[in-house]
Amino acid sequence: MSTGLNDNEIISQVLNGNQQAYAVLVNRHQNYVFTLSLRMVKSREDAEEVAQDVFIKAYKYLADFRGSSKFTTWLYTIVNNTCISFLRKKKLEIHSLDNEKVFELADNHDSGMRANLVEQKSRIGMVNNAISLLNPADAEVVTLFYQAEQSLEEMAQILGIEVNAAKVRLHRARARLKEKMETHFKEEVRNLN
């Protein structure tokens, strides 16, 4: 199949009628899209639904992708919009980075899951758990920058904000993540040093 091709070449194939080639794009990017969705919506079932919706929307509007930016940047814009719509529907308050209420809401989110999370001692597990305690907006920027490897300029495009604003969001998100790790995973952090 078209596995050796780059994203833009696969997109050309799909646009020329080879629908099956789209499976390569889905396979290639599903983990990124799912991780980003999961970190925003905080539940695996919802994240799976959102991630599927993202790929369906991306397929439907594939002709609008002009290739002037990376396919992933365009795709993550859809993830961002779909997650925001989903969270709005779920009536969750999101986005205001200064809104402590949101922060607490995420903090108190799914205490049952938290109990399990605290038990996980691994280094990776600890960071993943700390990220899951962040509010959706903070978790999104951290994931975009570190896991999805988007530059500040690309992040600004995805989030529809200025580059400097993206930079500030990232700084704040990292500061909060550090605080979360120090507060909730004190022992693990100590063991790392």
Partner 1 sequence: MDTQQNNEERLWNYIDGSVSAEEKKVIEQLLESDAAWKIKYKELLEVNELIKSTDLEVPSLRFTKNVMEEISKLHIAPATKSYINNKIIWGIGFFFIALFVGFLIYGLGQMDWTSGTESNITKNINKIDFSKFFNNTLVNVFMMINVVLGLFLLDNYLSNKRKSFRKEA
Q: Which of residues 140-169 bind partner 1 (CB under 8 A)?
A: 142, 146-147, 152, 154, 157-158, 160, 167
Which position among 2, 12, 30, 43 is part of the footprint of partner 1 (CB under 8 A)? Answer: 30
Q: How far is the CB of 112 from partner 1 (least distance, A)?
A: 19
Buried b (16+ CB within 10 A) or exposed e, 29-50: beebbbbbbbbbbbeeebbeeb
Strands (E) located in 44-172: none
Q: Which is nearer to partner 1, 91 or 98 (by Cβ)? A: 98
Q: Which is nearer to partner 1, 43 or 93 (by Cβ)? A: 43
Q: 67-75: long-range contacts (C-beta < 8 A, 24 or more apart)? A: 67/8, 67/11, 69/154, 69/157, 70/7, 70/154, 71/7, 71/8, 71/11, 71/25, 72/7, 72/29, 72/32, 72/148, 72/150, 73/150, 73/154, 73/157, 73/158, 75/29, 75/33
Size of the site for partner 1 (CB under 8 A): 57
Binding mask 72-111 for partner 1 (x = CB under 8 A): -xx--x----------------------------------
Of 137, 127, 185, 139, the closest CA to residue 159 belongs to 137
Residue 137 interacts with partner 1 (CB under 8 A)?
A: no
Identify whether the C-beta of residue 45 lies closer than 8 Å to the C-beta of residue 85.
Answer: no
Identify whether the C-beta of residue 180 lies closer than 8 Å to the C-beta of residue 133.
Answer: yes
Residue 41 interacts with partner 1 (CB under 8 A)?
A: no
With contacts defined by CB under 8 A, name the span among 2-10, 53-61, 88-96, 102-110 that binds partner 1: 53-61
Q: In this structure, what token pair is assigned to residue 79?
A: 């993830």
Give CA 21 to chain center in angstroms: 24
Q: How far is the CB of 73 from partner 1 (least distance, A)?
A: 6
Q: How far is the CB of 154 from partner 1 (least distance, A)?
A: 8
Q: Which residues bind to partner 1, rule: CB under 8 A?
A: 14-15, 19-20, 22-23, 26-27, 30-32, 34-35, 38, 47-48, 51-52, 55-56, 59-66, 68-69, 73-74, 77, 123-124, 126-128, 131, 142, 146-147, 152, 154, 157-158, 160, 167, 170-171, 174-175, 177-178, 181, 192-193
